[in-house]
Amino acid sequence: MAVSRPDFRSSDFLLAHMRQTMAFYEPVATDPSGGMYHFFLDDGTVYDTRTRHLVSAARFVVTHAMLYQTTGEQRYQAGMLHALGFLRRAFLDPSSGGYAWQIDWHAGRSTVLDPTRHCYGMAFVMLAYAWALRAGVAEARAWLAEAFDTTEAHFWLPGAGLYADEAAPDWTLADYRGQNANMHACEAMIAAFRASGEVRYLARAEQLAQGICQRQGALAQGWPGWIWEHFHADWSIDWDYHRHDKSNVFRPWGFQIGHQTEWAKLLLQLDALAPAPWHLPCAQFLFHAALDKGWDAVHGGIVYGMAPDGSVCDGHKYHWVQAESLAAAAMLALATGDMQYWNWYDRIWVYCWEHFVDHGHGGWFRLLDQANRNHTREKSNAGKVDYHNIGACHDVFQALARA
């Protein structure tokens, strides 16, 4: 049955869709004993009540804070505070300042399953505190500063001007270096500056953006300006890391099409706060390069990964790739006045409306194959919680309000 299409450029639509997406989680996600459940089937059934992941825990704070900040509705404030308290109580190790990557939560008690320290995780902890502060939680200013200082002390590499990626519980660094943690750290720094007004966060966001988009982006032989994911300890490209594990959730192999467009969005957000002449041209390059290689002309939608030879190495369609790309398209449209970006925005939204938005149960499907078929009943496993989809709507909603 065909589904009628709304006006995707309407602020009313974007706000309504944020509410509708969160409504999938509202009746089932809250665990009265602490925090939120993290694993949901398509119909909202919770299929794992005990495993909790740092990224999901932090993202629930962010999505609730976005909706509270946008609507003022107390139910979203209550959800934010519930998720926020759990983040500190269940994941934080006060003695080290580190956060567990994964825990088992049972009978009101937390057992650490994976104590590894991840900069990616710290980026979302900082993002959660920044959004909580923006949503009126005064204590979050100190928590944000605490998390930033911990990240600086243990992950910051002054010589590289970037963050390391992973550490043991005693903060011994692994050799792996990655762009993904730095990208989300940049996102967190932008949010931290918006919430606090402290210029150190904005300065770090610019340094991270330059480090990845300019210096590291110049290293990909044959693909200048494209952002590769994985690097050796000296920040030289590691072309083979996870070569045979391209679907690894946090460290997939290949050029990630969605990360090119996500960086485009972040550069425009950064430019709105601290303009620099390189931001817009770089954002335009990343967006056009990604859509030129990543748009599936046969089935629609944007594929996941491209190999260094230019071929599609993973043709699956992931929810977050579409969401980040439509947000980037809207922000480029507003920044340039060029209608081609609104045309891309509408095209991506039409595709998502027809294939990713679950008009029956709510929320977005997580993963489709290249022909847009859903092979899993898992709507949200660890990390998803529709953060990218709600966030994309919020980003466009706010950008329209500022235009």
Q: Please name the helix (run of DSSP H) or strand (run of DSSP E) that holds residue 166, with its range, or none.
A: strand 166-167
How many angstroms separate the Cα of 6 from the Cα of each of 241, 286, 348, 353, 364? 42, 28, 13, 9, 16
Query: Which residues, at least 6 apart from 1, have a Cβ–Cβ distance to it below 8 Å?
Result: none
Closest CA to 369 of 307, 296, 261, 280: 296
**3-class SS of residue 344:** helix
Cβ pair 232, 175 in contact under 8 A = yes
Report yes or no: 194 and 185 within 8 Å, Cβ to Cβ. no
Residue 121 near residue 101 (C-beta atoms within 8 A): yes
Q: Residue 98 — φ and ψ, nearest 5°?
A: -90, 165
DSSP 8-state symbol, 223: S
Query: Which residues are marked as active site?
Result: 259, 388
Whether the CA torsion 28, 388, 343, 402 is positive or negative: it is positive
- CA torsion, ordered 272, 274, 278, 283, to nearest 10 deg: -30
- Count CB atoms within 10 A of the CB of residue 365: 21
Do 47 and 370 meet the contact criterion of CB atoms below 8 Å apart? no
At 154, which amino acid appears? H
